[in-house]
Amino acid sequence: MIVNNNYSVDLVSKKQQNIDVSTKEEIRQLNEMLNESHQGSKLELEEQDFLKILTTQLKSQDPTNPVDDKNFITQMAQLTSIRELNNLNKNILSLVSQNSINSSLSMISKTINWIDNQTGQSMSDKVVGVRLNDNGEVFLKTSKGAFVSIKDIVEVE
């Protein structure tokens, strides 16, 4: 009986050692990933990153004291909230883009005044079209063939 207990203790301690070695490596990799993300303009924790952290946490938990179910449920709820906030952000950006396009379409046949970024001169021309670039920026096409960013417009006549 005592041998069995010692044997099981040895298994647990060996398993714990294996977990510690692999967990330390996973934690080191996660820290590197988070540090690399943080070096940009802002820290963005993606869903996959969150799942990696959660998986590492579950792998490294103490078998005699597992993660509380409430904590796990809270973390999953937070993940869902993050996902929904990201979706909401995308929808708002889409609405802003649509609003810019609609505003631009209302400028067709009107004369706009803008400052040319290259020469610094005040320019004026009639709007004949609207163009949307790959980044979602809206440009107005003038009768002389120039493309003017909405950001550069000073006046609409």
DSSP secondary structure letter of residue 67 = P
Select the more confidently predicted residue: 150 or 10.
Answer: 150
Mean pLDDT of 65-94: 81
Percent helix / strand / coil, the chain, rounded to 5: 55, 20, 25
Tell me the C-alpha distance between 157 and 153, whole Å.
Answer: 11
According to CATH, the topology of domain 107-156 is SH3 type barrels. (2.30.30)
Strands 147-149 and 138-142: antiparallel
Q: How many CB atoms lie within 10 A of CB 138?
A: 21
Please state, in angstroms and rounded to a whole number, the distance separating the CA atoms of residues 14 and 5: 14
76-82 mean pLDDT: 81
Least confident interval from 18-22, 90-94, 115-119 = 18-22
pLDDT for the residue numbered 80: 82
Does residue 140 register a pLDDT over 60? yes
Closest CA to 55 of 34, 81, 26: 26
- pLDDT in the model for residue 33: 61
Question: What are the phi and psi torsion angles at 127 (to 5°)?
Answer: -80, 130
Contact between 79 and 47 (Cβ < 8 Å): yes
pLDDT in tens, 82-102: 888 988 998 998 888 788 888
The residue type found at 95 is L
* Model confidence at 20: pLDDT above 60: no
Give the pLDDT score at 8. Answer: 37
Lowest pLDDT segment from 31-35, 38-42, 111-115: 38-42
- Of 44 and 132, the one with more pLDDT: 132
CA dist 73 and 67 (Å) reads 10
Strands 153-156 and 111-115: antiparallel
- Rounded (5°) CA angle 150-151-156: 55
Q: Where are the domains of the chain?
A: 2-38+46-98, 107-156
pLDDT score recorded for residue 44: 55
The pLDDT mean for the chain works out to 74
pTM of the model: 0.46
